[in-house]
Structure 1
């Protein structure tokens, strides 16, 4: 009985162990591309500076590399995708005039300046110090393009006499972005004009620059308000919507396909847990097989001893 109790105790321990204990732990390799002041006396080391930089198209930005104890060594900026040396110390080695080296005298900071960045400038850049062996730190530059989106789809149907409320969301908007301009192209004239430039009253534009949201409010609509409306933020891709003002029909009846989740601009996200559930089931099945093998082995051992 003592052997059976011991076997069951071992099985219980096996079941309680986390999966990584019997699979083997995965250790992340230690990066050898950086240096710290504790590694050697008098050696250069990097200062803590942001290594992930995000900017929008056309807005200049800098990648800043801080190095202490540099001595007479050189600092270079390298573009990783083609291993092109862009700058060394205060010298620039590229024909791309948008890229240049910046270093203030007697400071430990070496910057790669990117003027008017485009989407193609996104990628990994490396700050490298000419030690033996070389030490380096990688920086990730992400350039995004602001885009406008009018909530509610490409077409809006409303009843004549009701109020029109259009909401424009600007993704990746700069914190101090310029005001959003709304344009309209009336269906009966075909002439593009700013919505607040005409003599029509009851029109109001409200923009929240911090949140990147703009609202267009048109009170007491008539058939003349039908047409194409465009939300055009500065330095962003515009978005348009077609407004149909209908006489004697309910907007809800004309748009049965619009549900609350889609009209709020926040579509309901699909629930996708099947993959995780399958993985858990596979792990549990493997564990049961191991437990079965242990039980059979322990039973055979007890039978042999008895």
Structure 2
């Protein structure tokens, strides 16, 4: 009985299935297979990526050989526009704009810097100076990033830098000139005229890039711009940085004598005295002569007193 049981046990062991037929073995084999598939795909992906990089590198190298590469770089990098003013002239107190046109700005920023003290004025559309005369002005359709300066003073003249925060940074420089207009009436001072002739006064406003808004003429304390019965007043540009205003009075009479003042809107007023020759000039000369004689007598009296004092001391 025992012998038969042992034989049956040996027979059962001999008919057992191979190890790779078990569920556990199948799962193990499937896992290894999947790992190999994933690893193979990963390696192939890397190889494909390297191949793409090499292909792109060869393409760029081929572009660089015929110059197209640099055209490609320039077309996608920030650059300054063609219409750029490097020198701007304005007059005292007149609002001025410094223009800076930037192409392909992308995500970069434009900053304005005052060069004489390296003060940061604006970045983009934000102002970084407490002086509210400075402010940025941006026009998107033109790519213009301008710096506005209200009521410019003589101390505002100098060099300004428009800087783009690219890598490397690029800069465009603008030099601002601020002029102070000066008014002057041409001719001899004072002016002597004859009765019945004309009075023709020319007031030149120099260092004035723009025409004055107005030029008022005064006879003594009365404005005469609207007295058109015997004369007229004109105003026109003269050259790039000057303006001329003329006052014309025909058939001048002694009542027209006195002080004439030219008062432009952008400069200090200036004046001239007008006299007539019918005795007034001679009287003025006589007054000057009398004053000179009185001065001479006064000096002689002083010397006379000094001599008498010295003589008196010597006699004592």
Q: How high is the TM-score relative to the length of structure 2?
A: 0.59
Q: CA deviation at 1:209?
A: 5.0
Q: CA deviation at 1:249?
A: 8.9
Higher share of residues assigned helix: 2
- Partner secondary structure for residue 166 of structure 2: coil
Question: How far apart in 2 are the matches of 1:241 and 1:37?
Answer: 66
| Residue number in structure 2 paired with 1:228 | 259
Q: Comparing both chains, which one has the higher relative contact order based on Cα–Cα distances under 8 Å and sequence gaps of 6 or more? A: 1
| Residue number in structure 1 paired with 2:85 | 50
Are the counterparts in 1 of residues 179 and 208 from structure 2 also a CA contact under 8 Å? no
- Partner secondary structure for residue 235 of structure 1: coil
1:161 aligns with 2:196: yes
| Residue number in structure 1 paired with 2:153 | 118
Question: How far apart in 2 are the matches of 1:133 and 1:139?
Answer: 20
| Residue number in structure 1 paired with 2:233 | 205
| Residue number in structure 2 paired with 1:75 | 110
- Pairing 1:100-249 to 2, within 5 Å after superposition: 100-105=135-140, 107-173=142-208, 175-185=210-220, 192-196=221-225, 201-208=229-236, 212-247=243-278
Taking a change above 3 Å as real, the CA distance of residues 122 and 153 of structure 1, as seen in their structure-2 partners, is: farther
Moved more, 41-50 or 95-104: 41-50
CA deviations 1:204-239 (Å, max 9, x no partner) are 223335772222122232333222111112122222
Higher-Rg structure is 2
Moved more, 217-226 or 59-68: 217-226
| Residue number in structure 1 paired with 2:288 | none
- Partner secondary structure for residue 65 of structure 1: coil
| Residue number in structure 2 paired with 1:267 | none
Question: How far apart in 2 are the matches of 1:234 and 1:38?
Answer: 53
Taking a change above 3 Å as real, the CA distance of residues 40 and 216 of structure 1, as seen in their structure-2 partners, is: closer
| Residue number in structure 1 paired with 2:119 | 84
Question: How far apart in 2 are the matches of 1:100 and 1:56?
Answer: 19
Q: CA deviation at 1:248?
A: 5.8
Q: CA deviation at 1:129?
A: 1.2
Are the counterparts in 1 of residues 160 and 176 from structure 2 also a CA contact under 8 Å? yes
- Partner secondary structure for residue 50 of structure 1: coil
Q: CA deviation at 1:202?
A: 1.9
Q: Tell me, which stretches of 5 or more residues in structure 2 are unaligned?
A: 1-69, 286-316
Are the counterparts in 1 of residues 89 and 209 from structure 2 also a CA contact under 8 Å? no
- CA RMSD, aligned part only? 2.9
Taking a change above 3 Å as real, the CA distance of residues 46 and 246 of structure 1, as seen in their structure-2 partners, is: same
Q: How high is the TM-score relative to the length of structure 1?
A: 0.61
- Partner secondary structure for residue 78 of structure 1: strand
Question: How far apart in 2 are the matches of 1:225 and 1:94?
Answer: 54
Q: Which runs of 4+ in 1 moved over 4 A?
A: 36-41, 248-251
What is the aligned residue count? 210
Taking a change above 3 Å as real, the CA distance of residues 175 and 247 of structure 1, as seen in their structure-2 partners, is: same
Q: Tell me, which stretches of 5 or more residues in structure 1 are unaligned?
A: 1-35, 186-191, 255-306
